[in-house]
């Protein structure tokens, strides 16, 4: 309970719950409240107002729909294909007026609201209000299904509404909160919508028309909200993925007008039923409220920046996620290079659906900023970067669809269209490539196939002589990567052809008179002790000078260990050292190197445990596990060092990249309050926040779909959560199985719907709107 020294004193209310129901009420009843003797007396409601709409009504939104300065309510009635505007009356309609205005066999009109009906052609799944064309009047924005569309109904000067825009939005999600409005710093707003399980921004043009949706990112998103949760005065984007291991997704916004959107932050929590925004009047940043599915706890969280732990035991980190353009691509190819020549690397990815190459600047703070889009071959499959004929970094593009390989150069902020590279057999299809150097020569190795026959060839721009391809008899499937490495420390490069689920094939490069040619392939049958490296695959294998003798070793992650190997032409494969995790459940599937040469770390990904495992040297120079960090909400397929940002990983999945910092500060969710009902039969499904007794403190209204209860909690000045009161909303006619067959009330709104300046509670329940007016003094 708020203490006596609080700056805002509680204003006592009489507790009045005298609710009358119309003839269509589920069950005539008087709401009985189980109350806290100390706080319940400060929460009171005048007699409930009931407005019949139609079976399955909702969703609803508040707004001033007749420009009279009072808040009204727009309620969707899909059964009658209309939106019903409940316009708050200045004076209550008398019984005489009600009877005179009612037709035969019709319920008399509401004494408190005028009902204005707006016909709609779609089934409406979400509804918003706002002034889209900045004419000072409130308009209505709807999300419709069958077909999936965004609809804008503008209010005219006479108070009528007319359809002004109909925009198709294929993949638009259904749900009350699948569409919302986001305030911008310039006094305007935009629409946020969940489309194809991603959050999209829908800007509003100067003419008041909705623009084409632009993806912000995310996956498995079911609903979206907008509120300032970082405390910088700019509303951020909050996405909900309640069935995911990271159900809370936040995109911080930035910029003078609030239109900049940062990386997606994903937060691991137990499975939740709902996520709500909880604003506090005296706190810049809003908080979040979630209802845990298993425990039924109502948990309240702050978004905070905390120092990353350096503990030797399990700790946690998070990924700043950037959704990549286009459709998801398995074993996605990502490269980096200093294309602009400014000393900072760019990240290069492809968009198969748009047939473009996308370039992102890699900032020293670990952020990615989109630089340009450039056209390329159809359905690019792989990109690699590196120096070519002129010594400058270039981008190599491989397209199976067009059976070609090409090279693009960076010019004036964009990539040129790829210049095709001639292969020896134009009838074959390239499947994988790798660029590397032997001495001063830049080379490109390309594996091609003709039906089931594979071969590999070298392309040397300095050697116009014929370089004969080599047949790969033991390759049965498309290799996914080519790793150039000197496996036997003899000063020449071998090419490791890595195919998931298939044995590695090694192709030696023979050099004579400064010219390179391909030797005969080595296979699992010709390399002794091949079983020691049989787990080698694209993501878990790399070349690194582990011993520091100037020669590279091959590192392979497998099971709970990282194996350091070299090849001996006489004895075969041998293990120089093996780093291990003392946990048999660990499954290491990806590998990279972080840090400088004098202080390196070997970083591996534990697929089953969803953990980043860091191996490093101790003070005596001994290698061992130094950190194990939980990373949920992001499925790592491969990873590499983030260019230019120390101690930072660039993790890659099929549809996104995640920037993971292993040190410094990171965003996290911190619990500051929680509560749980003593009843084991409850199914709390939503939290709505607002001040419902006029004392200046935030209250939380919790809806229960099982026992059909409304519980009210209040936050003190110190944000301690205090139970206030609760009451039954209605009595179910389904005496058995009610919880599984009903999810009512479906929505609640806290706003002033009586015109007295005090917040009321409106609930959408079955076929009606229940309004609980805040009691007068």
pLDDT in tens, 551-581: 999 999 999 999 999 999 999 999 999 999 9
Integer Cα distance of 334 and 653 in angstroms: 10
Predicted pLDDT at 21:
32
* pLDDT higher than 80, residue 22: no
Q: Please tell me the predicted confidence (pLDDT) of residue 344.
A: 87
More confident residue, 4 or 163: 163
- 86 phi, psi to nearest 5 deg: -90, 100
Quick: pLDDT tens for 436-459.
Answer: 998 888 999 999 999 999 999 999
Q: In this model, does residue 369 exceed pLDDT 70?
A: yes
pLDDT digits (tens, 9 = 90+) for 673-685: 999 999 999 999 9
Given this model, what pLDDT does residue 308 score?
Answer: 62
pLDDT at 777: 61
Predicted local confidence at residue 598, as pLDDT = 80
Percent of the chain with pLDDT over 90: 73
739 pLDDT higher than 80: no
Quick one: average pLDDT of 740-768?
A: 89
The CATH label, of 3.60.110.10, 3.40.50.1220, 2.130.10.10, 3.40.50.300, for the domain at 33-308+670-772 is 2.130.10.10
Mean pLDDT over 44-69 rounds to: 94
- Answer whether 0.85 is exceeded by the pTM: yes
What pLDDT score does 255 carry? 84
168 φ, ψ (degrees, to nearest 5): -65, 140
Which residue would you say has higher pLDDT here, 451 or 11? 451
- Give the tokens for residue 375: 């056209």
Mean pLDDT of the chain: 89
Enumerate the domain spans of the chain. Answer: 33-308+670-772
How big is the CA angle at 83 (ends 77 and 87), to the nearest 5 degrees? Answer: 115
Q: pLDDT grade, residue 28 (50/70/90)? A: very low
Residue 25 has pLDDT above 60, yes or no: no
361 closest CA partner among 379, 375, 376, 343: 343
Q: Is the pLDDT of residue 360 over 50?
A: yes
Rounded to 5 degrees, φ, ψ at 698 are -75, 135
User: Counting runs of H as helices and runs of E as strands, what totals does the chain give?
Assistant: 2, 62
Mean pLDDT in residue range 577-599: 93
236-240 and 248-251 strand pairing: antiparallel
- How far is Cα 246 from Cα 270, in angstroms, rounded to an integer? 8
Is residue 266 within 8 A of residue 238, CB to CB? The reply is no
Percent residues over pLDDT 70 in the chain: 92
Predicted pLDDT of residue 742: 59
Does the pLDDT value for residue 324 go beyond 80?
yes
| 287 within 8 A of 668, measured Cβ to Cβ | no
Asked if the model's pLDDT at residue 1 lies above 60, the reply is no
Q: Residue 3 above 60 pLDDT?
A: no
pLDDT at 311 (0 to 100):
43
Eight-state DSSP code of residue 533? G
Residue 222 has pLDDT above 90, yes or no: yes
Instruction: Report the pLDDT averaged over residues 469-496.
Output: 95
Handedness of CA 168, 169, 174, 177 (dihedral sign): negative
d(C-alpha 521, C-alpha 508), whole Å? 7
Report the range of poorest mean pLDDT among 481-490, 533-542, 724-733. Answer: 724-733
Q: How confident is the model at residue 17 (pLDDT cuts 50, 70, 90)?
A: very low
pLDDT band at 106 (very low <50, low <70, confident <90, very high): confident
Contact 677, 296 (CB under 8 A): yes
What DSSP designation does 739 have?
Answer: H
Q: What is the mean pLDDT of residues 310-339?
A: 80
Q: Binning pLDDT at 50, 70 and 90, where does residue 735 land?
A: very low
Do 163 and 151 touch, CB atoms closer than 8 A?
A: yes
465: pLDDT confidence band, cut at 50, 70 and 90? low
C-alpha distances (whole Å) from 760 to each of 28, 116, 463, 553, 772 are 22, 21, 81, 70, 6
Asked if the model's pLDDT at residue 355 lies above 70, the reply is yes
Strands (E), 31-98: 33-35, 49-52, 60-63, 72-77, 82-88
């Amino acid at each position: 309970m708020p203490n006596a020294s609080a700056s805002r004193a509680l204003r006592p209310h009489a507790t009045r719950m005298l609710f009358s129901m119309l003839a269509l009420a589920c069950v005539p009843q008087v709401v009985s409240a189980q109350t806290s003797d100390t706080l319940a007396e400060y929460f009171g409601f005048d007699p409930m107002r009931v407005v019949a709409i139609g079976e399955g009504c909702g969703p609803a939104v508040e707004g001033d729909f007749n420009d009279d300065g009072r808040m009204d309510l727009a309620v969707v009635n899909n059964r009658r294909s209309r939106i019903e505007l409940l316009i708050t009356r200045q004076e209550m309609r008398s019984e005489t007026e009600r009877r005179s205005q009612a037709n035969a066999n019709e319920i008399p009109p509401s004494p408190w609201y005028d009902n204005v009906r707006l016909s709609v052609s779609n089934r409406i799944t979400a509804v918003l209000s706002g002034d889209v064309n900045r004419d000072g009047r409130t308009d209505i924005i709807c999300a419709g299904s069958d077909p999936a569309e965004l609809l804008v109904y503008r209010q005219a000067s006479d108070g009528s509404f007319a359809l002004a825009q109909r925009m198709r939005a294929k993949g638009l999600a259904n749900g009350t909160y699948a569409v919302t409005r986001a305030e911008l710093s310039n006094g305007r707003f935009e629409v946020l919508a969940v489309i194809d399980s991603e959050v999209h921004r829908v800007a509003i043009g100067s003419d008041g028309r909705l623009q084409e949706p632009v993806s912000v990112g995310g996956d498995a998103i079911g609903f979206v909200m907008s509120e300032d949760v970082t405390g910088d005065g700019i509303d951020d984007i909050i996405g909900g993925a309640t069935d995911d291991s990271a159900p809370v997704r936040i995109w911080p916004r930035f910029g003078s007008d609030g239109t900049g959107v940062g990386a997606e932050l994903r937060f691991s929590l137990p499975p939740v039923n709902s996520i709500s925004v909880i604003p506090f009047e005296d706190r810049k940043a809003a908080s979040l409220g979630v209802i845990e599915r298993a425990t039924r706890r109502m948990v309240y969280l702050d978004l905070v920046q905390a120092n990353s732990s350096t503990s030797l035991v399990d700790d946690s980190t998070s990924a700043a996620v950037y959704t990549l353009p286009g459709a998801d691509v398995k074993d996605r190819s990502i490269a980096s290079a200093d294309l602009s020549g400014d000393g900072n690397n760019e990240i290069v990815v492809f968009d198969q659906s748009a047939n473009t190459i996308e370039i992102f600047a890699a900032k020293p703070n670990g952020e990615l900023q989109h630089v340009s889009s450039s056209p390329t071959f159809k359905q690019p499959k792989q990109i690699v970067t590196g120096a070519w004929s002129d010594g400058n970094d270039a981008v190599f593009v491989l397209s199976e669809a067009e059976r070609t390989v090409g090279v693009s150069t960076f010019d004036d902020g964009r990539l040129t269209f790829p210049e095709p590279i001639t292969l020896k057999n134009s009838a074959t299809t390239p499947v994988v490539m790798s660029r590397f150097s032997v001495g001063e020569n830049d080379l490109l190795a390309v594996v091609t196939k003709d039906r089931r026959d594979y071969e590999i060839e070298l392309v040397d721009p300095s050697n116009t002589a014929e370089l004969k391809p080599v047949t790969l008899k033991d390759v049965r499937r498309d290799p996914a990567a080519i790793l150039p490495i000197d496996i036997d420390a003899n000063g020449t490069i071998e090419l490791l052809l890595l195919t998931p689920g298939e044995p590695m094939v090694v192709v030696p490069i023979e050099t004579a008179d400064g010219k390179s040619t391909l030797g005969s392939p080595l296979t699992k049958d010709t390399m002794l002790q091949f079983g020691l490296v049989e787990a080698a695959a694209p993501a878990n294998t790399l070349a690194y000078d582990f011993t520091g003798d100037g020669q590279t070793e091959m590192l392979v992650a497998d099971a709970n260990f990282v194996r350091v190997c070299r090849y001996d032409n006489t004895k075969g494969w041998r293990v120089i050292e093996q780093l291990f995790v003392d946990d048999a459940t660990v499954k290491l599937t990806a590998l990279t190197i972080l840090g400088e040469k004098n202080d390196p770390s070997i970083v591996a990904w534990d697929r089953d445990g969803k953990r980043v495992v860091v191996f490093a040297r101790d003070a005596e120079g001994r290698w061992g596990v130094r950190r194990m960090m939980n990373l949920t909400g992001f499925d790592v397929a491969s990873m590499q060092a983030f260019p230019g940002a120390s101690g930072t990983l660039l993790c890659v999945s099929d549809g996104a990249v995640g920037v993971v910092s292993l040190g410094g500060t990171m965003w996290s969710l911190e619990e500051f309050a929680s509560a749980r009902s003593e009843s084991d039969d409850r199914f709390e499904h939503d939290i709505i926040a607002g001040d419902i007794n006029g004392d200046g403190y935030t209250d939380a209204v919790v809806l229960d779909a099982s026992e059909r209860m409304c519980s009210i909690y209040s936050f003190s000045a110190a944000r301690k959560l205090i139970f206030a009161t609760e009451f039954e909303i209605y009595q179910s006619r389904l005496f058995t199985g009610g919880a599984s067959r009903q999810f009512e009330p479906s929505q609640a709104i806290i706003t002033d719907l009586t015109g007295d300046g005090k917040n009321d509670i409106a609930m959408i329940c079955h076929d009606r709107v229940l309004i609980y007016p805040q009691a007068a003094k």
